[in-house]
Structures are given as C-alpha cells and as structure tokens.
Amino acid sequence: MDEETVATQGSLNQGAAAAGLASWLRLNKKEDERGEGGGSYNNNMARGGGGNNNTASGGGGGAANNSSYNSSSARGGTQQPTQPQNNSVSAPKPKRKATKKKCISFVTPWPFDNYHEVQEQMYEELASRAASEYGALDRFDEKKDDRSKGAGTKPPMRAGMGGNAAAATTDASKYYERPEELPSIKEAVNDLALVDFEKKAEERAINIVSTWLFDAGLIDELLVNGAMGPMGNNAQQQQQSQQKISSTGTVISEKTSEGQEIGVNGFLVGAEGAEQKMDKETNKLRAMIQRDLSIINARLNDGVAASGLEVQELVNAVSATKDDIGRLRELTTYISDGQRQSISDRDEFLLAQYPYLRKAINARRNIHRCFRELEFFGYIPSTCERLRDDLHGGEWTAEEWSTIRNVSMEHVELEVMLVEAENSMKGGSSSHNFNDAVVDSFLDSHVQNVWELGDEIRMRIISGVGSAFDLSMNNPAGMVALVEAVEVYERAAETFKKKKEEQSADSTESTRLNFTNMRAAALEQLYQDFEMRGVEMFRGVHENAADLADEEDAANTQFTAVLKAATELVTEIDIVKHQMSPCFAPHWHVEALWSSCVAHVCSNHIVQQIGGPDGQNLPELTITQLLELVAWVEYFRETIEETFPEVASMRDTKKTYFEERPELFAGDKKTVNMQNATESLAWVNNMLWEVHRLAQEEFLVRTRSQTDEWLDKVYGSETVKNQSSEGKLTTSLCEDVFSFSSVQLRTIRERLSKKSDALILAVCIILSHMRSKQVHARNNFLQDLETCCAASNDFTRMSEKCEDMISELMSQCEFSEDMTFTVEATSDELMGVYSSDAVYSARSVHIYVFDPIEEEIGIRLFEEDWEETMVDNDLAISLVRTLEDFHEDLEHYMDDFMVVKSMMSLMSATIIFYAKCLLLRAEKHRNNKRPFFGDVKKALDRMTGDIKVMRDYFEGLVPQMPSLKKNIEKDFEILATIHELMSVAAGFSVSDAEDFILVLQKRVRDVGITKHIVGDLWHLVAPTEERYVWELVESMEEQLMAIAPVDDALALEVNDRSYVKGLRLDEMAVKLYVKSRRNRPIKATAVESIVKNWRTTWSAGAEEGNDEE
C-alpha cells in the first residue's frame, strides 16, 4: 500500500465519520417526533458509520442507512436500515414491519392549534443545518456507488477512498491538529438557546473524542484500519502479511522496527501490537470512565442513603414541576404564536402575560386541593391497613428499622391532618366553628384507627430501643432510623404547639387529640435497658464466681469478679460516647443516661463488697485486691471527669443516692434533666473517692509491712558469696533485694494507672524503707577484707540497679512535675546511700589491713632495735611491702575506682598508725628526767628515713592513681609537723615551736588534744621542758581557737558515711588519751573537763574505748 492510497483512505474515512455524526444528529432530532416507535439505528454508526459487521468496508453502509429513512418516521413509523449494495446483486427494498394500530384520542383543538407543525418545522431546520455543515456526505455517497459498480472481484474498498490523494490529505490536514481546549460547561451554555443546546453538546463530544484520538496516537491506525474490532483487524493484518511475504520472499523481524510502515503523522502502522492499539486504548478509556462513574455512583449512593426519603421527595417535586412547566408551555402555544418571547424574557413566568388564565389555573388547583382533602378521610382506613402491612411485613428483615421510620413518617402525617382538622373545626383561626360533639363523632372512628396504629408503632419502636446498645454497635443505620422515627412525632408536636402559641390569646380551643408520645416512652425504655444491662452483668459474675470458687476462696473470687464487671461497664462509657451517642439526637444525652446507670449500679455493688462507705471489710482484702480497688476508682474518676468536665468541680452535693435511683427525666419525661444527672454523678464520684482514700491508706500500710518483712528476711539471711572469672567478689544481696522490689513495683504499676498518686506513694515508701534497712544493716557486711570488697561491689551494683529501676518506672508513667520531683528525690537518697556505702566499704579495708601490721610492726616500731640496728629502715620497708601485697589483692577483688578509694584510706591509715605508735611510746615513758630515745638525733634521722620510704611508695602509685597526689602532701604534713616539733624540742631545729603548734591545731581543731600531743612529743625528747610547753600552748589558746575553732560538724561526721573510723588524728588521740594513765603537769579538774568534752564530741569513740577498757 503506497502513501497516496493511505492518504486518500484517511481523508475519506474522516468524511465518512463526519457523515455518521451528522446522521446521528438528524436521528436524535427526529426521535422526539417518532416517539416510542422510532426506527432502529445500528450501533456500528458510532464507530465510523459501518452498516454491517460482516462487511469489510467501514464507511459506505452508514451513508446508505442514513439516506434510507422514510419521511413517515417523523410520525412514529419504524424504519429498518438497508443492507450495503453488492456488485452483482442489488439490495432489496426494505419492507415496513407490521405495527400494532394505536388508539388515537381526538381532542378539540384551540383556534391556533398548530403546535405540531411548528415543532416539525423547527426540527427540519436543524436537520438541514447539520447537513449543510457536513456537505461532503453526498460526494462520498456518489463515489462509493461508483467504486461499488466498478470493483469487480476485488475486495471491497474502505468507504471514502478515491480522488486525488494529495488533495484529500490537504483537506484532512485540519483533522490532524490537536483540537483547541474546550471552555467550561458554565461558559459554553451561558445565554445558549434551548434549541441549540444539543448541537453544542454534540460539538463538545466530537472535540473530546478527537482530542482523545490525537493524544492516544490512534489517527494513523484509524485511517488505515478503520474502527474495526480485533477479529477484523487481525484477519486483515494476517492477509496483508501473507501477501507481503509471498511477493518479497522475506520475513520481517519481530524484534526490530525494520520494514515497519510509518503513518502520515509519524505513528507506526502495522507494528507488532499496533493492530490492537485502538482496542487497547478503548479498553483503557472504558475502564477509566467506569472507575470514575463508580466513584460518582458511590458518592451519590452515600448522599441518597443519608437522606433517601428527602432526595426522593425532591426528585418527585422536580418531576412534578417539569410536568407543570411542560403543560403550561403547551397551553401557551394554544393561545399565542409561540414566537413573542425573546431571549431576554425567557426567565419570566409563563403565565405572566395571561392573568385570567392564571386565575383559572389557581382556582383549579384550589378546588383540587379541597377535593383531595375531602377524600383524605375516605382513604384513612386503607392507608392505616397498608401501613400495618408494611410494619408487620418488614419485621425480622434487614430493612426493619428503615421500614418503621417510613411508616412513622406516613403515620405522623395522618395524625397531623386529624389534629389540625380538629383544631380548625373546633376553634382556632377558623370562623366556622362546629359543635365539639359533632366534630368528635365525625373524627372518632378515624382517630381510633390512626392512634391504634400509633400504639403499634410505639411498641415496635420501644422493642428496638430496648436493644439499643447492640443495635448501635451492629447496625448504626438502623439505630439512626429508629431515632428518626421517634423524632418525627416530636417535631410534629412541637410545630403544632408553636402554631397554637402564635394564635390569638382570645381563642378558646378544646382539642383533645395529642400526638403519639414516642420520645418519653423511648427514653424510659432506654434507661431501663441500660440499668438492666448493668444488673445482668453483675448477676452473671456473681453466679459464675459462686460456681467456680471454693468456700474458702469464694469471697475473694466474688470481689475480683465484681471489679471486673465494673471495669467493663466503665469502659463502655467511652464506647457509648464515641460509637453509640452519634446515632441519637444530642438532646437524648445517651452518655449521661449510661454513665448514671453505671455509676449507680457499680457504686452499690462495690460499697457492699467493702462493708459500707466506711470500708469495714478493707482489712480483710488482699493487697492485690486493694490495688485493684484503688485502680478502679481512679479509672472511674478519670473517665467520668473526662466525659463530664463539670463534675470535677462539684465536690459537695446536696443529696445522696444510696437507696434510690436518681430521677433523670424532666416533668414531661421527654428530656433528660442534666442537672440531676450531673449531681448524681458528682455524688458517686465523691463517695467513691473517699473509698479510694481508705483503700489507699490500707494498701500503703500493707506495703510498708510487706516491704519490711521481706527486707528483714533478705538482710537477715546469709548471702551467697561469688567470685567472677576476673576475681571480683560479690554476694547475692543485690539480686535478693531488687528481685523483690522490682516485682513489687511492677505489680503495683500494672494495676494502677500511670498518673496514680497511690503509685507515687507506694514507690516512695518502698524506696525509703530500702534506704532505712540499708543504713541499719550495712555494717554487718564488713567483717573482713574480703567481705568489705564484696560489699563495696554489691553496693555499687545496687546503686546502678536502683537507677535503672527508677528510669524504667519514669518512662512508663505520666507523673506530674511535683510527683516526679518527689520520686527523684527519694530515689536519689537511696542511690546516695548505696554509693556512699560502697565507698565506705572500700575505705574500711584499712582496718583489716593494719591488724596484722600492728601485731608485727607496731610493737617493734620506735623500740631500741628500731633505733640501734635497723639502719636501713627495715620496719618501714616491711610495712610498704605488706601494703603492696594487699594492693594486689584489692585490684583482684574490687573495681578500679574503689581500689583508688582503698589506697587513699591505706595512706591515711599509715600516717595515723605511725603517729599512734609514737604517742604510745610517750604513754609508756614514765621518766620525767631522761628522753625516751637513747640517741635523739639518731631517732629523728630514723624517723626521717621511715617517712621517706612510705612517701616514696605512695608517690610511686600516682601514675596509676593521679588522685593520690593531692592527698600525699596533706597526709604526710602530719608526720612532718610531728618530726619538726620533736626537732625543736630536742634543740636540733631553730624553728619556732609556735608556728608548728598552729599547723597541728589546724589538723586537730581542738586545743586540748593539741596540748596533749605537743606535751607527749616534748615528753619523748625533752621531758624536763614538758611543763613549759604546756604553759606555752595554754598561752596560745586564744590564738589557736581563732585560727582553728572547734568544729561542730565533727559530731555529725561521726555518723556520716564520709567518716571512716581510724583515719583521723584527733579521733586516734581521743581514744588514746581517754585511756591514758600518765601523770601530766596539769590540774585534775582540767583533765576531767577535757575528757568530758571529748566524750561529748566523740561519743562513739569514747564508748568504744570504754568497752575496750
């Protein structure tokens, strides 16, 4: 096929399509004239004008069909499309089908009865206008006939082929451009005449289809293949492929575009899959349109379902209005020529120019209304019977509740009509009043029938409302329908009441009819259903508890079952608020009714379980039951105050509701008395909160006793000692303590709310009792070196456990800022105790390290052998080596941080040990004439060597323990001061004794102790000068007190864990001098006063000294 042939085919194909659209236009215009018996039209016209699917051509048949319509079709005849012509056999003339003769009713026309002629003329003008716009139709028909006669045995050509290809391409070029964008529908129909509306719609439809063809790339395929189905396209493509293969002897590759034909607009023609592109795009378009239509349909269905009856009424009203307008338009043609109105006055009323006709129409309508109202009473029995049938027929069906609503709406119309009839006939605004007895006699039978039907409807509504809870959950639409059925009566009653109030006050009406009272009965039934639901739930749990529990455990099981049932009922308050309440009108206050029932029923059962409002049976409950009771009251309070915020501020109520049910309905029983409902909820809330306070106090008492009992058991039992692979010593104390506390706190947290005050108080009680027990029992774990190391490790782990436990608790709870501060303060105190105890245990190792040192070295230090033979400071070296051995053990037994603390205490203990041994030698020296040492100079040198050996050892640890450096200077200053004072006393130093006495006072901070130490030092090297030095110190007393006054915090430090026994010079001196028996150059009363002060300040040390003594 060459390009010229393709172009010719495309041009004529488009002409055929235009011809088909023009025929479709004429057909639709004539369908209004044909009526119900209009001629058939082949669907293939819409796809290119083809008259028969079996014909290979796609355009000729359409033209033949359109040209063969008989003029009688305009009057209602039936026309069959003709078959396309054949070269050898001419098409037979179509025969008219036999139609059933219609019955024609003759109407006497008005003088100007030419309406049908005007209409016929108008449609003829439209058809001729459409034919002129698509003038190529006749030329295409003539060319088709010529080609059909001269075709011979060749296959029939597509419609529209022939003529000059280039000219056809040029004429069709305008179809290849993308159509312009359409204006909006609002702009397109603005000021558009009704007769031009269909034409404008057709133009927009052609533009939309053309745009789709262009955007989808279907123009070339449409020009080549036509709008044929998949079967025709496949057959034709297969035939062309066979011809091409037989003529060229080559096969085109399926995987490349080599040898494929390119259309006029650049689209592939004949490619693999291209023959079905039209079908694919059509299917995609169809699917997209179906999807959009389904969305629109769903939205419309939602709107209709929301108010189906109102939509139906609106549709009926629109239909009636259209009928009236059409009738009026027809009437105006009988009395006018139909051409007087211009476009500018189209919106005016049709009868504005015909006042007499308008009066006649109004009179006819009024008469019709009068007769309709008169006939109303005759239809009441049949209407009631029909409504009864509908009411009973819809029972136990899916549409039961919507049926009740529909029946109620019709029934209330009957009641409205009868009530208004009685009101109008007996009095009111009517000037023609009748005798009341006559009116009652006339209306009696109708009233009885209608109101009996109302009673039946009310029974059905009450039956549905009785199961409102389940109905709202399972069928919300049904519940809404039921409520609407109730409210329609109330709206009618309110409207009638308002109408009566608007009437004049002079009217004396004696109406006896009232609308069926639906809402009061429905509210009462709803309240009873709510209350019975709660009662049945408690009755069920009581029966189950009695069946399942033994006699001994029956009470506990029953209490647990009651709380469980109460929790379920309170939980349903939120369900009613969010799922059930939207199904009811707001003035029903369903959440208030349900909450009042729940509060009344639950409070009665719980108060019975605890022995009354004062909680007499609370001591008999277990701690778990107390927790559950406290948690339930908090949950109830939170739910009620969240649902009804005004209840939170009502802490005092005037009335109690122990024995009676609160009256929740107003005087007419049609509305809920929210004041009574709120007051009853506030009373129950306050009463249960008092129960909460009593239960919480009992729970906290139980928590204290349970915590103390468990901690006594843990701290009193023997712990299991463990040693890790690294040598670290631990015991089971940490696991024993926190396994209990974690379980206890987890149990409390799981049963109480995240904001519960009881949870805060319980946590604080447990933590404070753990702290108290630790303070009282911590020294029991310091028995030897290994237990001190294990205790230090245990207390460190306990501090970490406590921090993790509190962090987990805070992350899972929602405490206020004040409560959070309270918990953190309590936990910080406990963690502080554990941490200080860990350090104290590590520093206490010096007691057990220096026990063997005192036995081996202390008795030999400062003796004659130390002075004469130990020229290399052997005892100091032995002391240092012993400390090295213990240091290695401590590194294995404890953490590195605690090893540093231990070495600090060992350094201080070394200084105190050395000074103590020196002062003990002064206590033993009874000679007041000669020094204690044989050679004071040699003794002082030996002391210098010992101090250097000890200091070098600790300075060697500084690289590993940098924190030791600042303590070395501070601790060894004591020994340097003692050595310098002894040198001054012996005369080997030119320093002033007063300066070093001041230094000693700064460390001791007690003038009496300073006097004793300085006197003992002078007693060792210069006994004859001892009195002098005592007097010197006494003369410096005011200066000493000013520089270093008595520290009042010393008494507090004795009980503080920062104070470790045996590491203070003043403490060591107090213990030594309390037991001293040496005579000193002071008065006895002065000695007694000093001892008394020492005993007051160092009571612990004095008592210990007395025990040892």
pLDDT in tens, 1002-1017: 888 888 888 889 999 9
The residue to which tokens 């069909």 are assigned:
65
* Residues 467 and 461 sit within 8 Å (Cβ to Cβ): no
| Cα–Cα dist 912/921, whole Å | 14
Residue 392 tokens read as 């009973």
Residues 6+ apart with CB under 8 A from 510: 426, 427, 436
| Cα–Cα dist 765/757, whole Å | 12
* Residues 970 and 954 sit within 8 Å (Cβ to Cβ): no
* Residues 580 and 469 sit within 8 Å (Cβ to Cβ): yes
Residue 1003 tokens read as 């460390």
CA count, 13 A, side-chain hemisphere, 538:
23
End-to-end CA distance of the chain: 134
Residue 209 tokens read as 């289809």
pLDDT tens, 605-649? 888 888 888 888 888 888 888 888 998 998 899 899 888 888 888
* Residues 971 and 907 sit within 8 Å (Cβ to Cβ): yes
| Cα–Cα dist 461/485, whole Å | 8
- Residue-level pLDDT at 506: 47
Burial of 63 (0-12, 13-18, 19+ CB in 10 A): buried
> Bridge partners of 268?
262
> Helix crossing, 590-609 with 519-548: angle to 10°?
30
Specify the DSSP class assigned to residue 580: I
| Cα–Cα dist 269/266, whole Å | 9
Residues 6+ apart with CB under 8 A from 493: 514, 515
| Cα–Cα dist 462/522, whole Å | 6
Burial of 597 (0-12, 13-18, 19+ CB in 10 A): buried
What sign has the CA pseudo-torsion 262, 268, 269, 271? positive
**3-class SS at 729?**
strand
Write the single-letter amino acid at 714. Answer: V
Query: DSSP states of 847-907 as a string?
Result: HHHHHHHIIIIITTTTSHHHHHT-TT-HHHHHHHHHHHHHHHHHHHHS-HHHHHHHHHHHH
Which helix H or strand E contains 800, and what residues bound it? Answer: helix 785-812
CA 1090 from centre of chain? 74
The residue to which tokens 């109101």 are assigned:
451
Which helix H or strand E contains 268, and what residues bound it? Answer: strand 268-269
| Cα–Cα dist 410/609, whole Å | 53
Which helix H or strand E contains 1040, and what residues bound it? Answer: helix 1037-1043
| Cα–Cα dist 463/469, whole Å | 12
* Residues 918 and 978 sit within 8 Å (Cβ to Cβ): yes
CA count, 13 A, side-chain hemisphere, 77:
13
Which helix H or strand E contains 478, and what residues bound it? Answer: helix 476-502
Which helix H or strand E contains 730, and what residues bound it? Answer: strand 729-731
| Cα–Cα dist 416/443, whole Å | 13
The residue to which tokens 């309240």 are assigned:
527
Specify the DSSP class assigned to residue 68: T
| Cα–Cα dist 1073/1069, whole Å | 6
Give me the torsion for CA of 10, 13, 14, 18, rounded to 10°: 170
**3-class SS at 722?**
strand
| Cα–Cα dist 846/567, whole Å | 61
* Cα three-residue angle 448-450-453, rounded to 5 degrees: 105
- Residue-level pLDDT at 258: 45
- Residue-level pLDDT at 37: 40
Question: Which candidate, 469, 667, 493, 648, places its Cα nearest to that of 568?
Answer: 469
User: 639: how many CB neighbours lie within 10 A of its CB?
Assistant: 17
| Cα–Cα dist 749/756, whole Å | 9
Write the single-letter amino acid at 524. Answer: E
Question: Which candidate, 668, 647, 539, places its Cα nearest to that of 599?
Answer: 647
User: 305: how many CB neighbours lie within 10 A of its CB?
Assistant: 10
User: 5: how many CB neighbours lie within 10 A of its CB?
Assistant: 13
* Residues 114 and 83 sit within 8 Å (Cβ to Cβ): no
**Which residues of the chain are under the pLDDT cut of 70?**
1-120, 122-123, 126, 129-176, 194-195, 224-276, 299-312, 327-362, 364-365, 368-374, 427-434, 503-512, 541-542, 544-555, 652-661, 666-668, 1046-1057, 1082-1109
- Residue-level pLDDT at 356: 64
| Cα–Cα dist 260/716, whole Å | 100
Question: Which candidate, 753, 751, 631, 776, places its Cα nearest to that of 691?
Answer: 631
| Cα–Cα dist 832/830, whole Å | 5
pTM of the model: 0.57
What sign has the CA pseudo-torsion 680, 685, 688, 689? negative
- Residue-level pLDDT at 525: 87
Compute CA distances 900 → 582, 796, 843, 962, whole Å: 71, 15, 9, 9
Residues 6+ apart with CB under 8 A from 632: 563, 566, 567, 570, 606
| Cα–Cα dist 1039/185, whole Å | 110
Residues 6+ apart with CB under 8 A from 176: 214, 219, 264, 265
Question: Which candidate, 1001, 1016, 990, places its Cα nearest to that of 1065?
Answer: 1001
Residue 446 tokens read as 């109708």
> Bridge partners of 729?
723
